[in-house]
Amino acid sequence: MRLFSSISALMVSATLLTSCFENPDCIGLKNDLVGISFKKLFDGQADSIQLVGLTVSGSDSMFLPSTFSSVVVPLNTAQRQQSVEIRLVRGDYQMSLAYQVQTQFESVDCGPRFLFSNLELLQHNFDSVRVTNGTPFSGDIVTNIDVFRCPAPNRFKVGFRQLQTDDDPNGEELEETFNGVSVDNLPYLFYPDEDLSSLEMPLNQGSNQSRISFDMASGEFNTLDLSYQFVTSTAVGKCGPQNFIRNLQVANSTGYDIVRVLKDSLSDPPSTNVWLMKCPRTNEIEIDLKASATSAATVFAINKVTAGYTTDEFFVDAEVSKLILPLDVNSDQTDFTIDFEGGAKNVSFGYTRTAKTFHEQCAQTIITDLTVLSSEFTTEPVLVADSIKFPTTVNVEIIND
Domain locations in the chain as residue ranges: 2-149, 155-278, 284-399
The pLDDT of residue 106 is 65
Amino acid symbol at 305: V
The pLDDT of residue 168 is 97
The pLDDT of residue 15 is 36
Beta-bridged to residue 358, according to DSSP, are 362
Query: Which positions ≥6 away from 168 have C-beta within 8 Å?
Result: none
The pLDDT of residue 90 is 82
Nearest-Å Rg of the Cα atoms of the chain is 29
Q: Distance (Å, rounded) from C-alpha 207 to C-alpha 367?
A: 47
Q: Distance (Å, rounded) from C-alpha 265 to C-alpha 248?
A: 6
Q: Which segments in the chain show pLDDT lower than 70?
A: 1-29, 58-67, 106
The pLDDT of residue 88 is 86
Q: Are 337 and 305 in contact (CB under 8 A)?
A: yes
Question: How many of the other CB atoms lie within 10 Å of CB of 49?
Answer: 19
Q: Distance (Å, rounded) from C-alpha 274 to C-alpha 79?
A: 51
Q: Are 255 and 224 in contact (CB under 8 A)?
A: no
Q: Distance (Å, rounded) from C-alpha 50 to C-alpha 68?
A: 7
The pLDDT of residue 61 is 54
The pLDDT of residue 247 is 98
